[in-house]
A and B are shown apart, each in its own frame.
Chain A
């Protein structure tokens, strides 16, 4: 199934890019991150970039491929369980791809001694929450020329909160350019701990509430 998903992602790359291009939201994400990079990060641009770029990629890839099957796909000889399986594998693949991007950006600095493994682990935790929650995405379906969202419950509220926590957590983690966690002052440590724990709680809630819906919603066209 991974092979099918990879081949389909590769085939549909251009139309996936266009889908993101057409939805202006990604521009806002880029602007927010890089404005804050200039204002807050100051000399820490490299550190900020190492976690911000993979996070932006997580959101973009979620919107390029996530929560969406085109109409032709529903006409192919697949049943609901196969489509569900496809959706699960494509979700996992998006997380794998963005995690690889994260490691490609963050392992070399650790190897070069620019920051320590505990700092890397903290970044991985924050980034893990970002990519897991960004890919639980309900893309609207155009059914008979009408936009349809299919999640039941407070998805919009939870989504906004998870994005806020992701955003703030990435900013704070990006500002840590210290080699070791022990070099960070206690006040900052407490703030980071509170942020990361809050982010974790919201992410776990979002996954438990909406992950299975995000899969099941793609089983049928109508």
Chain B
């Protein structure tokens, strides 16, 4: 569904470069895009949705090049971005119809149904809505033109708990036929523990890894124990270790046949643990 090949994007004015990013996400999966602030998540998202053109490399959405086959690629993408979009002086239905006419599968009835489901009054003006409601509107519009890919840039932080459950249910239903995919940029890695299938991690403009979640988590172990026990560990496998008050905490690469000292507590790391240790290691 998504294929990113050797993509590079540089911004002279900011001194920032997204460098040689390559990964692919198959149909029918939810990919979490994680990274600290300034890692390049939004830049990558903006290239996926065709807002930025890469300086090098190609991006394909369901086989359509985002630059060369722009119409077909964008017609297949629904987006929710964490910024003000659309016209604040138009009503929700006014906005949807104004921009929806450019999409081949836009259906205003579907849009209105989603607005009802999300408890939005589609005759109210966009500027009267709260931040969370505006994101719900973007979500309703994204779904109303039947996209193959949903691109979501940190929407969940602004949703109330009740809607978050519904949001995840909609995403799960969206991919259930195996023909649709979701890419979700988020700081809330706990969400990805529940619904994520793939995890793509960016750090300072570079791709650290892009793997399916199960393989990712099973490839690492979190070790905790007495600081002197660090000597028993294979240094080549240590991603990052920190010692404090006589105790050590380390993330190590793991293979199924690896064994550890009995006095070391071995646990399966969360996505957040993996991200934390990679960032710390780089610093």
List the interface of chain A (C-beta within 8 A of B): 4, 7-8, 11-12, 14-15, 18, 70-80, 82, 144, 146, 220-222
Contacts and interface: CB of A to CB of B under 8 A. Distances in A.
B87 A12 contact: yes
B269 interface: no
Given A71-B51, A78-B74, 13 more contacts: A4-B101, A7-B98, A11-B98, A12-B98, A71-B85, A75-B74, A77-B73, A77-B74, A82-B71, A221-B52, A222-B46, A222-B51, A222-B53
A72 B53 contact: no
Contact of A75 (B11, B50, B72): B50
Interface of B is mostly: loop
State the 8 A-B residue pairs at the shortest beta-carbon distance, nearest first.
A14-B89, A76-B102, A77-B74, A77-B75, A79-B70, A11-B98, A72-B85, A77-B71
A83 B99 CA distance: 14
A11 B52 contact: no
B92 to A, nearest CB: 13
Contacts of A146: 13
Contacts of B85: 70-72, 75
Interface in B101-119: 101-104
A74 B98 CA distance: 13
Nearest to A17: B89
Given A11-B94, A15-B88, A70-B87, A75 B70 contact: no
Contacts of B101: 4
Interface size class of B (residues with CB under 8 A): 20 to 34
B102 A78 contact: yes
Nearest to B83: A71
Interface string B49-88: 1111100000000000000001111110001000001111
Contact of B98 (A8, A221, A222): A8
B90 interface: yes
Contacts of B75: 77
B89 A18 contact: yes
A206 B75 CA distance: 37
Given A14-B89, A221-B51, A72 B99 contact: yes
- Most chain A beta-carbon contacts within 10 A, residue among B51, B73, B104: B51
A113 to B, nearest CB: 44
Contacts of A7: 98
B89 A75 contact: no
- Interface core residue of A7, A144, A146 (most chain B CB under 10 Å): A144
Most buried by B among A4, A14, A72, A144: A72
Interface string B156-182: 000000000000000000000000000
Contacts of A71: 51, 85
A75 B86 CA distance: 11
Given A15-B87, A15-B88, A18-B89, A76 B74 contact: yes
A79 B89 contact: no
A217 B75 CA distance: 23
In the complex, which of the residues A71, A73, A76 has the most CB atoms of chain B within 10 Å of its own CB atom? A76
A74 B89 contact: no
Contacts of A221: 51-52
A122 to B, nearest CB: 40
29 contacts: A4-B101, A11-B94, A11-B98, A12-B87, A12-B98, A14-B90, A15-B89, A70-B87, A71-B51, A71-B85, A73-B99, A74-B50, A75-B79, A75-B85, A76-B74, A76-B103, A77-B71, A77-B102, A77-B104, A78-B70, A78-B71, A78-B74, A79-B71, A82-B71, A221-B51, A221-B52, A222-B46, A222-B51, A222-B52
B52 to A, nearest CB: 5
Contacts of B14: 144
A89 B118 CA distance: 38
A82 B101 CA distance: 14
Nearest to B151: A75
A18 B20 CA distance: 42
Contacts of A12: 87, 89-90, 98
